[in-house]
Structure 1
Amino acid sequence: MSRIFNVAVIGLGIGARHIREGYMPNTDIFKVATLCDLDPARLKQYGEEFSVDHRTGDFDAVLADPSIDVVDICTPPNTHYDLIVKALASGKHVICEKPLVGSLEEIDRLIVHEKAAKGRLMPIFQYRYGDGVHKARRIIEAGLAGKPYIATSETHWTRLADYYAVPWRGKWATELGGVLMTHAIHINDMLSYLMGPVASLFARVATRVNPIEVEDCVSLSLEMASGALATVSATLGAAEETSRLKLCFENVTFESSHAPYHPGGDPWTIIPANPEVDAKIEALLEGWVPMKQLFSGQMRDFHDCLVNDKPTPVTTEDSRRSLEFLTACYWSARQKQPVAFPIGSDNAYYDGWRKS
């Protein structure tokens, strides 16, 4: 019988989705034992919905509870660093929503804490969990796709006044960024997951949709380490919400599902260059077993890593690459210059991009 880990969910905004979509489908391996939130009404609402009796607004009390194995941090982005450090110091395993922290300096310090900690740390990138993106990755890793040529990434969503009525959203101090940080971060992670690392980029950002501090429209031009080129666009003013990746390789063209919040899921369009490649892809994917999707799949893989002492399915280094990408975007947009990777401690934004 698999070990069941007791989880405390900290923050019941996106945290409620973690429970509904991540833990409830996996009750054989996780039990949500504690809810922690500063809003008593939310504690009552979700405590009743998910039948969780232990509810608190005291994070330190959660860490002091020896029955809690995993702390799942779903609070506003500006709080993540301190909460993660405290949770790791207490010996807990930690799951944390994106963005993991607010600068490369913070994540480099966090990596030091993680290496010294008893518990494991897993950032959330649930969009990786879909049959479509995993089939594409398998084809690429098998060498069937050939040389990467060009790609496009689109996050065209709608976020208007009602969304930004939540006080911490739309502000540099608390949300840490706009559409790049909070919305397009997922599909841009998928772009690198399939096309490899970014070598350089030029960014343009604008605030055109909402009266907020942070950006809500973005256009990026990327050169990948492989030599492939990519373009990225994102807006929060689309009349119809879609997400899309299109990747052109030497032997295969991939196009993702257009589902705004699950572009990694089936169906993907996979177009081989010729019948020979088609036959090899068909043989490679024969007998494909559908995987658990989104939060459910990532949480299940996290359990596997804890039980069998494997690397976390999404690593702190994965999150660092995402933060390096964001740092480069904000630096390039403000300096109106291209920026090359890697981004080191000599970059003016190494300690954060929330500056003029």
Structure 2
Amino acid sequence: MTEQQNTPLRAAFIGTGGIANAHAEALWDQPGVELAAAVDLDPARAQDFASKWGVARTAASLAEALDGGGLDLVAICTPPSSHFPLALEALARGLHAVVEKPPALSLAQMRQLETAEAASTGTLSCVFQHRFGSGARRLLAMQDSGALGRPLIGTCNTLWFRNQAYFDIPWRGLWDVEGGGPTMGHGIHQFDLLLHLWGPWAEVTAFAGKLARRTDTEDASAAIVRFESGAIATVINSVISPRETSYLRLDFENATVELEHLYGYSDTNWTVTPAPGREDVVESWNQGEDLSSGHAAQYRALLRSLQAGGQPPVSIAHAYATMELAAAIYASSVSGTTIARGQIDETSPFFTRMDGHLEPWKQEETLNA
């Protein structure tokens, strides 16, 4: 790939279902980007997508797309079980790849992706778009400046609702296909933002279960996370909550900062409540432009990094800490023990599959039948 600004970056979309539209929309308005190929096993769906977004050509595989012309960047928008092999293929071909969440199904796969990226001229970045809204960037800057004081207590809730029909789709709710339930597939965006803001986590104690849906994975989990800073946060992930919300509350010494939204936010979704005598915090918060979170914001940051020849934001190494917390929530809930960061290594059954190959809630269903 050439980095010259007058050479368009040629992008392909692997998978042309619903989420691919978010990627296409995000890249549509970016200067210097050509929507070059739509890749899908269903030719009609690929053609519909290509017609909608003005994509130059369609193909049934990445190899076929490359035969039709050069590519620089691929957006992997397929079901979760295919993220890992497609990312490996893209890296092996020297392409930059953007992969939807979860980037892989296990920590073992994450380590393999790190190795593949190190050997490739391409790069791999993971879609954790909540990091890129102006509210998150402003909050991170205020933390770093010391204006907010120490982080103390946090709440991180992803309370969504998915009915039984959602899980009746054949590839949903299966460990080998999705890697887990709402902890992996829904709440991961919100607690990724929590980790991005509050830094490394130290240990976690969690519960999870199958409370209302017929599915192999959990439909809800709840965790208490202690950070290396000493701060403590609760993290709840649910797809059985009728009033849907994504809610983050962070209590610092000098202010409480809250974010409530559903699938994306702007500055209007944030609230800052100062501690008595610290009204200056609100004045600092109200400065700067309002940029929404979302795929477009992340792609802007990604394209800047590629043009500069640097590493993309949310690299596979950066995403490992988020995936490791997901694995620890599962390990703690299944084992009934507290899990420390770094504890899930190659010797752990939770390293190669999030449920430790135990299928705990499937067994629970059998016992309760």
Please tell me the TM-score bracket, short chain as reference: over 0.9
Within the alignment, does 1:12 sit opposite 2:23 as a pair? no
Correspondence for 2:28 among 21, 24, 31: 24
Does the CA contact (< 8 Å) of 1:129 and 1:265 recur in 2? Answer: no
Deviations, residues 184-216 of structure 1 (Å, cap 9, x unaligned): 000000111112221111111111232111111
Corresponding residue of 2:102:
99
Structure 2 distance, partners of 1:75, 1:218, is 25
Structure 2 distance, partners of 1:216, 1:283, is 40
Within the alignment, does 1:269 sit opposite 2:271 as a pair? yes
**What is the identity, as a one-letter code, of the residue corresponding to 1:190?**
L
* Closer/same/farther in 2, CA of residues 274 and 311 from structure 1, 3 Å limit: farther
**What is the identity, as a one-letter code, of the residue corresponding to 2:174?**
K
Correspondence for 1:198 among 197, 201, 223: 201
**What is the identity, as a one-letter code, of the residue corresponding to 1:197?**
P
Does the CA contact (< 8 Å) of 2:256 and 2:274 recur in 1? Answer: yes
1:125, distance to aligned residue in structure 2 (A): 0.5
Structure 1 distance, partners of 2:66, 2:181, is 31
Deviations, residues 37-96 of structure 1 (Å, cap 9, x unaligned): 112332232222112241121222124454211111111111122111111111111111
1:107, distance to aligned residue in structure 2 (A): 1.3
* Closer/same/farther in 2, CA of residues 79 and 108 from structure 1, 3 Å limit: same
Does the CA contact (< 8 Å) of 1:243 and 1:263 recur in 2? Answer: no
Structure 1 distance, partners of 2:273, 2:135, is 13
**What is the identity, as a one-letter code, of the residue corresponding to 1:18?**
H
Within the alignment, does 1:38 sit opposite 2:25 as a pair? no
Structure 2 distance, partners of 1:213, 1:42, is 29
Deviations, residues 200-251 of structure 1 (Å, cap 9, x unaligned): 1111111123211111111111111111111111211222211000000111
Corresponding residue of 1:295:
295
Deviations, residues 264-317 of structure 1 (Å, cap 9, x unaligned): 653311122244x4325525763x133353100111111111111223121111
Structure 2 distance, partners of 1:285, 1:66, is 47
**What is the identity, as a one-letter code, of the residue corresponding to 2:297?**
G
Give identity over the alignment, percent: 30
Within the alignment, does 1:48 sit opposite 2:51 as a pair? yes
Does the CA contact (< 8 Å) of 2:10 and 2:33 recur in 1? Answer: yes
TM-score normalised to structure 2 length: 0.90
SS in 1 for 2:140: helix
Within the alignment, does 1:345 sit opposite 2:350 as a pair? no
Structure 2 distance, partners of 1:236, 1:284, is 32
Corresponding residue of 2:143:
140
SS in 2 for 1:244: strand
1:339, distance to aligned residue in structure 2 (A): 0.8
Does the CA contact (< 8 Å) of 2:274 and 2:281 recur in 1? Answer: no
**What is the identity, as a one-letter code, of the residue corresponding to 1:129?**
F
Q: Once structures 1 and 2 are overlaid, which stretch shifts more, 120-129 or 62-71? A: 62-71
TM-score normalised to structure 1 length: 0.93
* Closer/same/farther in 2, CA of residues 147 and 160 from structure 1, 3 Å limit: same
Corresponding residue of 2:78:
75
Does the CA contact (< 8 Å) of 2:265 and 2:293 recur in 1? Answer: no
Corresponding residue of 2:92:
89
Structure 2 distance, partners of 1:170, 1:295, is 25
* Closer/same/farther in 2, CA of residues 125 and 82 from structure 1, 3 Å limit: same
Q: Once structures 1 and 2 are overlaid, which stretch shifts more, 223-232 or 261-270? A: 261-270
SS in 1 for 2:230: coil
1:347, distance to aligned residue in structure 2 (A): 2.5
SS in 2 for 1:227: coil
Structure 2 distance, partners of 1:202, 1:348, is 18
Flag structure 1 segments of 5+ consecutive residues without an equivalent. none
Structure 2 distance, partners of 1:49, 1:214, is 35
Structure 1 distance, partners of 2:94, 2:68, is 11
Does the CA contact (< 8 Å) of 1:218 and 1:234 recur in 2? Answer: yes
The two structures, once aligned, show a CA RMSD in angstroms of 1.8
Corresponding residue of 1:331:
331
SS in 2 for 1:203: strand
Does the CA contact (< 8 Å) of 1:155 and 1:187 recur in 2? Answer: yes
**What is the identity, as a one-letter code, of the residue corresponding to 1:6?**
R
* Closer/same/farther in 2, CA of residues 284 and 171 from structure 1, 3 Å limit: closer
SS in 1 for 2:328: helix
Within the alignment, does 1:211 sit opposite 2:214 as a pair? yes
* Closer/same/farther in 2, CA of residues 284 and 187 from structure 1, 3 Å limit: closer
Structure 2 distance, partners of 1:243, 1:289, is 23
Correspondence for 1:245 among 245, 248, 254: 248
